[in-house]
Amino acid sequence: QVQLVESGGGLVQAGGSLRLSCAASGRTFSRYAMGWFRQAPGKEREFVAAISWSGSSTYYANSVKGRFTISRDNAKNSVYLQMNSLKPEDTAVYYCAAGPYSGTVYYTRTTMYDYWGQGTQVTVSS
């Protein structure tokens, strides 16, 4: 089992920044690829960003590319999402997830992740 707890969400004005954190406990964190997803009211959960188990490769949704950065610190069992130039359409609950597969063919699919956090709310005002 892997337990994931997100933090760092909040209310920010458009153009601002937030840094989300996801702390993991349980089985070996460094064995898992990590992803960030988000879900806005009335919409399906969508992929945001992912990082391989080693941190050597990352992948982003087109909507956040160039604005968001995913990183991880395996020594701290943590993954991060730095969000810059935030837009109102970034408003959503953000979830981190852990899965055993690395590779772009897997990252975007929610079914490829075994463990999920409870989510943290990000609200961007215009």
Q: State the chain's mean pLDDT as an integer.
A: 95
Query: pLDDT tens digit string along 76-90?
Result: 999 999 999 999 999
Q: Assess whether pLDDT exceeds 90 at residue 122.
A: yes
Query: pLDDT tens digit string along 35-64?
Result: 999 999 999 999 999 999 999 999 999 999
- Pairing assessment for the beta strands 18-26 and 115-116 based on DSSP bridges: unpaired
pLDDT band at residue 126 using 50, 70 and 90 as cut-offs: very high
| CA distances, 122 to each of 23, 70, 100 (Å) | 17, 16, 27
Query: pLDDT tens digit string along 91-121?
Result: 999 999 999 988 888 889 999 999 999 999 9
Contacts of residue 36, Cβ cutoff 8 Å, sequence gap at least 6: 20, 22, 48, 49, 50, 70, 79, 81, 94, 95, 96, 97
